[in-house]
Amino acid sequence: MTIKGKAYIAGIYEHPTRHAPDKSTAQLHAEVAKGAIEDAGISKDDIDGYFCAGDAPGGAWPMVDYLGLNTKKLRHIDSTETGGCSYIIHLGHAAEAIAAGKCSIALVTLAGKPRTGAMPPRAAGAEVDFETAYGATTHNAYGMCAMRHMHDYGTTSEQLAWIKVAASHHAQYNPHAMLKDVVTVEDVLNSPMISDPLHRMDCCVVSDGGGAMIVTTPEIAKSLKKPLVRLIGHGEAMKGPRGGKDLDLTYSAGIWSGPRAFEEAGITPKDIKYASIYDSFTITVLMQLEDLGFCKKGEGGKFVADGNLISGVGKLPFNTDGGGLCSNHPVNRGGMTKILEAVRQLRGEAHPKVQVPNCDLAIAHGTGGLLGVRHAASTAILERV
Amino acid sequence: MSEAKKYPAPVTNPETAAFWDAAKEGKFMIKRCTACGEAHYFPRSICPFCYSDKTVWEEASGEGTIYTWSLMRKSPTGPYAIGYVTLKEGPSVQTNFVDCDLEKLKIGQKVKVVFKPTDGAPLPFFTVA
């Protein structure tokens, strides 16, 4: 049993806003849902599967009601919550449901307002008394990974900075990007230290906004007007400190989700023309590139240096929308936008300055939670038909 | 920061109460499984490695080395350094480093446990040995 080729992404929408003081979170969900529905050219009333995560106010049932989905037709609901990679997991779960005949047109939404509204608190796990007081945040949790990666493999701040430099080269062409200025390695190194060894420019933006997609059957996708993009491989995984045994913060759960996705797709990292790689921080990108097999463990620093991630310059064009580092990281969750830019590349709808020629195979990979503590990862391999 | 930082009191539960009772006496406890011999942290009743329920409390030496760290330069309560310490007994534990020069922390450095008061049981931290 495989989901290879059994589900297509027929509609996508990324909200153009990055700052939404005058909108509600539910409203943003509705706006991105409407955008994806219109992009696909379907009717809202045809949707029979709905997927959302922890950013949806109240969870699935209030959202289904608020969005006015057709409850006579809606027959598959999934609110898997794995932080920023939830939507990549949703894509895989939607494909599974479609392959099993449990739904035929699935809507996935993400939206929220970390800049202009209160963020819902993260639910505490069994570790609460043994960790909460120590103040793990995204910055210092990823800082701990970077610190150890530097220690074990000689990775440098200069190498990490190249990841931000590449993202900024792409963001200059994205009219919606929060940060459009091209930056240099020196700019990154000269930006203030936030949590050692990560500088401000090693960190992603904080943005209001959201995105949505429509996932459907091959038959329905082919009846619509958009270029055909299908899911051919998917993987998901989790990692944590596991009772403190053999702690190793230099790799992520991508080391397991990646091979699962590549095996299902029947391809290798060498075949990938474009990569959407979760970029909450520069170190996130570097570790995931290693974990996914784009280079050997410990050689990520060398791999990302000298513009190797810049479209038209390097060997692996990444995050051509500017990514979370420069364009958008709605609700502190970058998984949806990773899928959306991969679909744009496969459709040939990326900005001409960053469009990868003949882009037929792409990867969208993300993590959720804290790499330095406990997290999930998900990998999707997409193909233009 | 002239005032001592205020830390939240552990809520505690039946599974971990013994850890916090020992902390009140200045003892840093870990759990060890008598079936597979592995120690773990934070403490669970079922061994996370072999799933035996034969886990027992053990007073740890409180000594270890820094596995990694990161100094948060700004926060509402001032700078603080988070990290993991690999205990002599094996498990690595999440903590903050205190009462030492946070800018000079180094991976591999020897550290030891110190307790800081809360409104409830005291919390374990680590400082340079």
pLDDT digits (tens, 9 = 90+) for A334-366: 999 999 999 999 999 999 999 999 999 999 999
pLDDT tens figures, A127-186 = 999 999 999 999 999 999 999 999 999 999 999 999 999 999 999 999 999 999 999 999
Across the interface, do B70 and A147 touch by the CB < 8 Å criterion?
yes
Taking the CA of residue B43 and the nearest CA in chain A, the distance in Å comes to: 8
Whether the predicted pLDDT of B25 surpasses 70: yes
**Cα–Cα dist B52/B48, whole Å:** 8
**Cα–Cα dist A326/B112, whole Å:** 41
Mean pLDDT of B4-30: 95
Whether the predicted pLDDT of B127 surpasses 90: yes
Whether the predicted pLDDT of B2 surpasses 60: no
Across the interface, do A129 and B41 touch by the CB < 8 Å criterion?
no
Report the residue of A127, A131, A144, A249 to disrupt the B interface, i.e. the one with the largest count of B CBs within 10 Å: A144
Q: Binning pLDDT at 50, 70 and 90, where does residue A320 land?
A: very high
Tell me the ipTM for this assembly: 0.96
**Cα–Cα dist A88/B18, whole Å:** 41
Q: Binning pLDDT at 50, 70 and 90, where does residue B1 land?
A: very low
Task: Please indicate if any CB of chain A lies within 8 Å of the CB of B73.
Answer: yes
Class of residue A312 by CB neighbours under 10 A (exposed 0-12, middle 13-18, buried 19+): middle
Whether the predicted pLDDT of B3 surpasses 60: no
Class of residue B49 by CB neighbours under 10 A (exposed 0-12, middle 13-18, buried 19+): middle
pLDDT tens figures, A88-136 = 999 999 999 999 999 999 999 999 999 998 877 777 899 999 999 999 9
Question: Bridge-partner residues for A46, per DSSP?
Answer: none
**Cα–Cα dist A301/A272, whole Å:** 20
Mean pLDDT of A235-253: 97
Instruction: Give the pair of three-digit tokens for residue A177.
Output: 């990007």
Find, in chain B, the residue whose alpha carbon is nearest to that of A148: B68
**Cα–Cα dist A183/B127, whole Å:** 39
Residues A44, A50, A113, CA angle at the centre, nearest 5°? Answer: 90
Does residue B42 have a cis bond before it (omega within 30 degrees)? Answer: yes
**Cα–Cα dist A48/A43, whole Å:** 11
Across the interface, do A140 and B82 touch by the CB < 8 Å criterion?
yes
pLDDT tens figures, A213-222 = 999 999 999 9
**Cα–Cα dist A154/A160, whole Å:** 12
- Mean pLDDT value across chain A: 97
Whether the predicted pLDDT of A250 surpasses 50: yes
**Cα–Cα dist A327/A172, whole Å:** 9
Q: Binning pLDDT at 50, 70 and 90, where does residue A78 land?
A: very high
Across the interface, do B75 and A135 touch by the CB < 8 Å criterion?
yes
User: By the 8 A CB rule, do A215 and A10 touch?
Assistant: yes
Across the interface, do B73 and A195 touch by the CB < 8 Å criterion?
yes
Class of residue A296 by CB neighbours under 10 A (exposed 0-12, middle 13-18, buried 19+): exposed
Mean pLDDT of A296-308: 98
pLDDT tens figures, B83-113 = 999 999 999 999 999 999 999 999 999 999 9
Task: Report the Cα–Cα distance between both ends of chain A, in Å, rounded.
Answer: 21
Mean pLDDT of B122-129: 98
Instruction: Give the pair of three-digit tokens for residue B10.
Output: 């552990």
Task: Please indicate if any CB of chain A lies within 8 Å of the CB of B5.
Answer: no
- A282-292 and A157-171 helices, crossing angle to 10°: 100
Q: Which residues of A touch B68 (CB under 8 A)?
A: 144-145, 147-148, 151, 249, 372
Q: Which of A323, A320, A281, A288 is nearest to A303 (CA)?
A: A288
Instruction: Give the pair of three-digit tokens for residue A242.
Output: 């596991």
What 3-state DSSP class applies to A7?
A: strand
User: By the 8 A CB rule, do A256 and A235 touch?
Assistant: yes
Across the interface, do B95 and A137 touch by the CB < 8 Å criterion?
no
pLDDT at A157: 98
